[in-house]
Chains A and B, each alone.
Chain A
Amino acid sequence: MGTGTDTLTATAREAVASACAQVRDGGDGDEVDGVRPGLVARPADTDQVAEVLRAAAAHGLTVVPRGRGTKLSWGTAPRSADVLLDVSGLDRVLEHAAGDLIVATQAGARLADVQQVVGEGGQWLALDETVPGASIGGTLAANTSGPRRVATGTARDLLIGVTVVRADGVVAKAGGKVVKNVAGYDLGKLVIGSAGTLAVVVDATFRLHPVAPARRWVTVAVDDAARAGALSQDVVHAQVVPSAVEVDWTPAGDGSVSVLLEGREDGVVARADAVRRLLGDAATVGTDAPAAGATYPWDLTATGDLRATALKLTFVLSGLTDVLAAAGAAGASVRGSAGAGVAYAALPSDRPAEEVAAAVDRLRAACASHGGTAVVVDAPAAVKAAVDVWGPVPALDLMRRVKDQFDPDHRLSPGRYVGGI
């Protein structure tokens, strides 16, 4: 186990300790994908986040930000983690302007807490909670989304303002609190999915959507990948305005297609009926989500070598059949959004790393032939060592230049991201 604490001298420890109210030594349970941090700093506010980063910069320390720690093993392990910057103390929902359909929240607030606050006004932040307990910051850093991205998009479509602290401790904001705003560069886009490598998000402002008064799920069992592909095409091209078109698939080559309709009761009933006709007589209509819900097809509680190899597959809509067929051949379970071209796959933890690597290659080829990619989201250490976690990434040189500008010393989450960024 690496500790990466060579640079953590007594003076450096002292500097971090004086920057932030709560600082302690890294211990069991603080590991970032196997790397134990030297210190854990838990700032109480934006100023303290900035102070910690300034102290880290002054003493050449590496810093890995953490929200609620629900996805810390995702990506690649950091090369070094002198300081784990725990932003869970920044947990306030700052403003819910119901009339303007916006919410401003600190990064450490849980997505569920934000939903609770805005839900009281009949609204929701249109991001499914795919990882229970996740913070807003972590949700942005990992760019998670679920079934309802078909209707409302992802964080990319919802984030309208962001405040970040740079690696040098400078606090900066971009965007604001209005939905329509083209003044300046959209820095929010750059931090979404950046795995904590560009800057530390301290607060974020999102557009909200009204909660639909009625919903129906229409589900049909399918035992043929081509049939699943054809049905999902029928639904997306129909005028039924689905909120989600989900597929759940086993390595045996069977599973289900489920469609979510949301809106007013009469309309939802009519549209659910139209979808039922498209999916066939065997389709069922109900108000409950499929048992799998919005979660991924792997066990999120598993740790270490017991983790499944978790993948994110993307493809154009017409590629679903081939992707499901490839997943079956690779022995992967799949769950995800047939209506958006994003699905998640899991390969069992007991398979040898070389075999998993071959399966990843197979899935990567299938996704690439349909305009997409296959990224290893999480995996046991042996698998991460045996595969190219991120796969080929275009424009990598430009990404490196962006990283070099924001974090010239590669202080933030070094090695966690594409191309070793």
Chain B
Amino acid sequence: MTTQATGAATGTATRTGIDAVAARARELLPAAGVITDRAQLRTYECDGLAHYRVTPALVVVPEDAAQLAAIVRTCAEHGVPFVARGSGTGLSGGALPHAEGVLVVTSRMRAITDVRRADQRAVVEPGVINLDVTRAATPHGYYYAPDPSSQQICSIGGNVAENSGGAHCLKYGFTTNHVLGADFVTPQGDTVALGGAAPDSPGYDLLGAVVGSEGTLGVVTSTTVRLVRLPEEVRTILVGFETTDQAGAATSAIISAGIVPAAIEMMDALAIEAAEAAVHCNYPDGAGAVLVIELDGAAVEVEQEYAEVARLCEENGSFEQRLATDPAERALIWKGRKSAFAAVGRISPDYIVQDGVIPRTALPEVLKAIADLSRESGVRVANVFHAGDGNLHPLVLFDDAVEGAGDAAEKVSGAILDLCIEHGGSITGEHGVGMDKAKYMPRMYTDDDLDTMQLVRCAFDPQNISNPGKVFPTPRLCGEVPGRKKAAHPLQQAGLAEVF
């Protein structure tokens, strides 16, 4: 698949620029940290979204913030685009390299530099694996709440860039709610402190803008995150229903009762089938849908909430409920859910992981519409999602060996996003816009909305060298007068960029 031209204002990026960055990197880094060999470069050609592939011109693997800043500064001096990448688990092509640019890999910046129990904070480098923050905090009685399904491999830097959350966002909030401060390298190569260890730093909340900006505003080299006290009691319940409608109704009933579980996850029959094939999680036989509900907090209240949740599920048609009685059972329940994406490979050669959001009350209507789409198109769709906050992850299955199947799947996948927008939702809840969904942004936002977002990018990155070509389909050139641009983009007119 081809990608759009991402040169934007940096179309002048030349081999000379790349050579200059490589030379600077060789001065700063051990030989292994500067990759120019074509075959080695190709191992970085995609992130978790493998159907976009671009070989970067240069890969550098800095070991500390000073090296990273120096490399970015050299990129700025030569107008060379750069893309930051952590573990490369993103699912929207957010870390897709730039063909004429530098891929800055943070995987060697993996120190947890501080765990301060007294302050409920940890300071971590961007390459730190999400789950390792919790592992470091647990002996102190704490954990790191945002937990993407890929938490065993994804990096904190990527989580910050994408504002990727996970199952526990419903109760505990998203990455942006847990990141308090960051050392940040601007696209000019300057290092600034954003936010801090204490709350409410004076001045504009630049950190709030950076979290979720998908690497288009600069690179975070250290973050101060909030640690959350481990709850006194955790109960994880697996509930089987005959239909997704019943499971959806049970979810609504729980929320309406004023209960905010730590997580409510739903999987439909096809997703269950896939998970069973992959990890033998032993979900209830014959279930058309399961809910994984986790309650946590003070023991007395968890006990009461559990009784109420059990009753509400039963009233809404559950035929089986299993309470995990030990950590192993709890882990097995979660294993089925967290492995669902990968597991789908067991039942389909190819699939698209979609990531849309709807208001939770629209769940039954949207699930029915997805089923209709699937039936009409003949494209199978497995549903795995965060039911509590309406974040859908339809897995659109296809076989690329069958002619036209990929296109049909793309069409269904796009139609699902349209459903989300139509119901007042969003085109992404945690995976990001990246390269993959830039073309959908104008369906959700007006030109004026997008232009206004571009004001932020122009403030941070007037050269347009920080992960260019992501998030926005036709970025306004910094310096253009906002809100009065109605003709084609100059790059488009020049044939340098494509409008989706």
Contact = CB atoms under 8 A, between A and B. Distances in A.
Interface centre among A212, A341, A418, by most chain B C-beta atoms within 10 angstroms, is A341
Interface string A156-199: 11000000101010111110111111111111111011100010
Given A210-B258, A398-B459, A184 B441 contact: yes
Nearest to A269: B300
Given A180-B386, A372-B196, A190 B441 contact: no
A236 to B, nearest CB: 7
A47 B370 CA distance: 37
A317 B120 contact: yes
Contacts of A183: 426-428, 433, 437, 441, 444-445
Contact of B426 (A173, A176, A188, A397): A176
A317 B429 contact: no
Interface in A211-253: 211-213, 233, 236-237, 239-241
B424 interface: yes
Contacts of A166: 452, 482-483
A241 B200 contact: no
A316 B198 contact: yes
A390 interface: yes
Interface in B135-173: 141, 162-165, 169-170, 173
Contacts of B255: 99, 101
A316 B458 contact: no
A263 B298 contact: yes
Interface string A357-391: 00000000001001111010000000000000011
A318 B203 contact: no
A271 B298 contact: yes
Nearest to A337: B199
Interface centre among B208, B259, B455, by most chain A C-beta atoms within 10 angstroms, is B455
A405 interface: yes
A401 interface: yes
B404 to A, nearest CB: 29
B213 interface: yes
A370 B298 contact: no
B232 interface: yes
Given A99-B255, A183-B427, A316 B116 contact: yes
B375 to A, nearest CB: 26
Given A189-B209, A372-B198, A394 B193 contact: yes
B117 A174 contact: no
Contact of A198 (B198, B204, B390): B204
Contact of B200 (A154, A198, A395): A154
A193 B118 contact: no
A80 B219 CA distance: 37
Contacts of A418: 202-204
Contacts of B452: 164, 166, 170, 172, 174, 187
A188 B400 CA distance: 41
A399 B433 contact: no
A182 B206 contact: no
Nearest to B471: A184
Given A189-B205, A263-B301, A182 B163 contact: yes
Interface string B456-489: 1111100000000001000000000011000000
Contacts of B200: 143, 154, 193, 312, 314, 342
B200 to A, nearest CB: 5
Interface stretch (B8-16, B238-246, B352-360): B352-360
Nearest to A314: B198
A58 interface: no
Interface string B391-431: 10000000000000000000000000000000011111111
Contacts of B199: 154, 314, 340-342
B334 interface: no
A132 interface: no
A99 B252 contact: yes
A168 B211 contact: no
A417 to B, nearest CB: 8
B449 A267 contact: no
B389 A182 contact: no
B448 interface: yes
Nearest to B197: A371
A97 interface: yes
B300 A172 contact: no
A271 B300 CA distance: 9
Contacts of A176: 424-426, 444
B324 to A, nearest CB: 20
A241 B202 contact: no
B74 interface: no
A370 B121 CA distance: 13
Given A97-B361, A180-B426, A192-B208, A370 B198 contact: yes
Given A170-B448, A241-B297, A182 B359 contact: no
B57 to A, nearest CB: 27
Given A267-B304, A270-B300, A317 B118 contact: yes
B116 A186 contact: no
B208 A182 contact: no
A267 B297 CA distance: 10
B198 A395 contact: no
Interface in B170-206: 170, 173-174, 176-177, 184, 186, 192-194, 196-206
B229 interface: yes
A100 interface: yes
B44 to A, nearest CB: 24
Given A170-B482, A180-B390, A398 B192 contact: yes
B262 to A, nearest CB: 12
Contact of B429 (A181, A185, A370, A375): A181
B359 A177 contact: yes
B118 A179 contact: no
Interface in B245-298: 252, 255-256, 258-260, 297-298
A240 B198 contact: no
A102 B258 contact: no
Interface string B100-129: 000000000000000011111100000000
Given A176-B426, A184-B445, A157 B301 contact: no
A228 to B, nearest CB: 15
A190 B208 CA distance: 7
A395 B428 contact: no
A153 interface: yes
A277 interface: no
A396 interface: yes
B453 interface: yes
A267 B300 contact: yes
A393 interface: yes
B430 A180 contact: yes
A171 B456 CA distance: 16
Interface centre among A176, A319, A419, by most chain B C-beta atoms within 10 angstroms, is A176
Nearest to A101: B255
Contact of A236 (B120, B169, B297): B120
Contact of A239 (B232, B444, B449, B453): B232
Given A178-B429, A185-B209, 12 more contacts: A164-B452, A172-B448, A180-B174, A182-B212, A184-B433, A241-B229, A241-B297, A316-B121, A318-B119, A373-B202, A397-B192, A418-B203
29 contacts: A100-B390, A156-B177, A174-B453, A178-B358, A178-B359, A180-B389, A180-B430, A182-B164, A183-B441, A183-B444, A184-B449, A186-B208, A187-B209, A190-B209, A267-B301, A316-B116, A316-B118, A317-B118, A317-B120, A370-B198, A371-B196, A372-B196, A373-B196, A391-B202, A395-B184, A401-B460, A402-B204, A402-B456, A402-B459
When A and B form their complex, which 6 residue pairs have the shortest distance between CB atoms, in order from nearest?
Answer: A189-B208, A372-B198, A267-B301, A210-B258, A371-B197, A172-B452
